[in-house]
Amino acid sequence: MIKVGIVGGTGYTGVELLRILAAHPEVELVCITSRSEDGLPVADMFPSLRGHVSLCFTAPDKARLTDCDVVFFATPHGVAMAQAPDLLKAGVKVIDLAADFRLQDVDVFAKWYGMPHSQPALLAEAVYGLPEINRAAIKTARLIGLPGCYPTSMQLGFAPLLAQGKPLVNESALIADCKSGVSGAGRKAEVSALMAEASDNFKAYGVKGHRHLPETVQGLEAIAQRKIGLTFVPHLVPMIRGIHSTLYATLLPEARGLDIQALFEAHYKDDYFVDVMPAGSHPETRSVRASNMLRIAVHRPGNGDLVVILVVEDNLVKGAAGQGVQCMNVMFGLDETTGLRQVPILP
């Protein structure tokens, strides 16, 4: 059994980790930390876990994290980089759901997250936890920086067009029009996330710059092995969970005869959690709700040069906790889908 610890178990990604790991056949939950809820039974805070998780929250200084095989950080930015060195020295693998180990440039990290990076050597070692792109590196990794929710949808949506060795589209003018539910902002008291503020409303934000932009550009350039240009506009929609990304790319003249549908199907034929839907489909966020699936549909309006890629995922699962468990499975030599075959819930 894999002994698992979770640092920061009271947020949305923390409780999602608990939900998934509690039913994982190869996992033993060892500890769940919370400074403010020390001693409180997890099931008292999250009644949905009654009968599934018997642990109490433990203050970080009392938690037996070094007894674990792997520790997940579901914490604010900056926490994982402070604690990861001691855990790694003790032989514990680390999977960070925040941004501490996503960006490879320490100056870019400091610019977008407002703090210096305290572990540049570990940052250089960290593997970006997108299994469909970095599966081989994840297998041997001891430190994973998990992608953000928006970057997961954008990178997996654009990847088949960028990974062919030669440009198929105008890579200097990629566009991502993305929408997320309110849970993407985290479980905290914030005016913009109040029901009276978010409900019956729809708005863009972060147009002049969003911290997921440099991460996504970094990932797309690694896939393409070339410089790319991306315009990314996120939006907040009045739903709890889910991301819908509409991606746009313009075919180059020499690629006009390409069968885009076949290209995407071939690219993801061995990836269980990426569903390339039949031509003409329109995936819905509810078709992936509470699951680790990401669904993609590809369109070419009027059979013209514009490729429209529709991507949906659950931001808390494939965009966070589920993807972390997927990485854990790969790291420990398990079938990648272990504990992650939950069927999406409807309605």
pLDDT at residue 148, rounded to an integer: 96
pLDDT at residue 190, rounded to an integer: 78
pLDDT at residue 196, rounded to an integer: 84
My answer on whether omega of the bond before 347 falls inside 30° of 0, hence cis, is yes
* Parallel, antiparallel or unpaired: strands 27-33 and 203-204: unpaired
Residues in the chain: 347
- At 188, the pLDDT band (50, 70, 90 cuts) reads confident
192 pLDDT more than 90: no
pLDDT at residue 197, rounded to an integer: 84
Q: To 10 degrees, what angle do helices 131-139 and 321-331 make?
A: 40
Kindly state the tokens that stand for 107: 């100056």
Kindly state the tokens that stand for 329: 């499975």
Indicate the helix (H) or strand (E) that contains 198.
helix 195-198
The arithmetic mean of pLDDT across residues 308-322, rounded, is 98
Kindly state the tokens that stand for 112: 């977008």
What whole-number distance in Å separates Cα of residue 42 and Cα of residue 53? 7
**pLDDT tens digits along 98-114:** 999 999 999 999 999 99
Torsion of CA 127, 28, 325, 137, to 10 degrees: 30
The arithmetic mean of pLDDT across residues 121-128, rounded, is 95
Q: At 79, phi and psi to the nearest 5?
A: -75, -45
9 pLDDT more than 90: no
pLDDT at residue 179, rounded to an integer: 98
What rounded mean pLDDT belongs to the chain?
96
What whole-number distance in Å separates Cα of residue 15 and Cα of residue 55? 13
E strands, the chain, in order: 2-7, 27-33, 57-58, 70-73, 93-96, 127-128, 143-145, 174-180, 203-204, 230-236, 243-250, 274-276, 294-299, 306-313
More confident site: 183 or 178: 178
Contact partners, residue 127, CB within 8 Å, separation at least 6:
134, 137, 138, 141, 143, 144, 145
Q: Which of 68, 149, 178, 327 is catalytic?
A: 149
**Sign of the four-CA dihedral 50, 52, 54, 56:** negative
Catalytic annotation present for 149 = yes
Question: How much of the chain, in percent, has pLDDT values that exceed 70?
Answer: 100
Q: At 210, phi and psi to the nearest 5?
A: -130, 145
- At 191, the pLDDT band (50, 70, 90 cuts) reads confident
**pLDDT tens digits along 211-225:** 999 999 999 999 999
Q: At 65, phi and psi to the nearest 5?
A: -65, -35
189 pLDDT more than 80: no
Domains of the chain: 2-146+320-331 (3.40.50.720), 150-313 (3.30.360.10)
pLDDT at residue 71, rounded to an integer: 98
In contact, 326 and 292? CB cutoff 8 Å: yes
Q: Which pTM value belongs to this model?
A: 0.96
Whose structure tokens read 């805070």?
45
The arithmetic mean of pLDDT across residues 59-66, rounded, is 93
